[in-house]
Amino acid sequence: MRILLIEDDRKTSDYIAKGFSEAGHVCDVVGDGRDGLFRAQREAYDVVVYRMLPGLDGLAIVCSLRPAKIGTSPLFLTAAKERVWDFHFDPNTISAAPTPQ
Buried b (16+ CB within 10 A) or exposed e, 34-43: eebbebbeee
Asked whether the beta carbons of 77 and 29 are under 8 A apart, the reply is: no
pLDDT band at 5 (very low <50, low <70, confident <90, very high): very high
When pLDDT is averaged across residues 21-39 and rounded to a whole number, the result is 91
pLDDT band at 59 (very low <50, low <70, confident <90, very high): low
Question: HSE of 29 in the Cβ direction (CA atoms, 13 Å)?
Answer: 17
How many other CB atoms are found less than 10 A from the CB of residue 78? 16
pLDDT for residue 15 is more than 80: yes
Question: HSE of 1 in the Cβ direction (CA atoms, 13 Å)?
Answer: 17
pLDDT of residue 85: 47
pLDDT band at 95 (very low <50, low <70, confident <90, very high): very low
How many other CB atoms are found less than 10 A from the CB of residue 10? 10
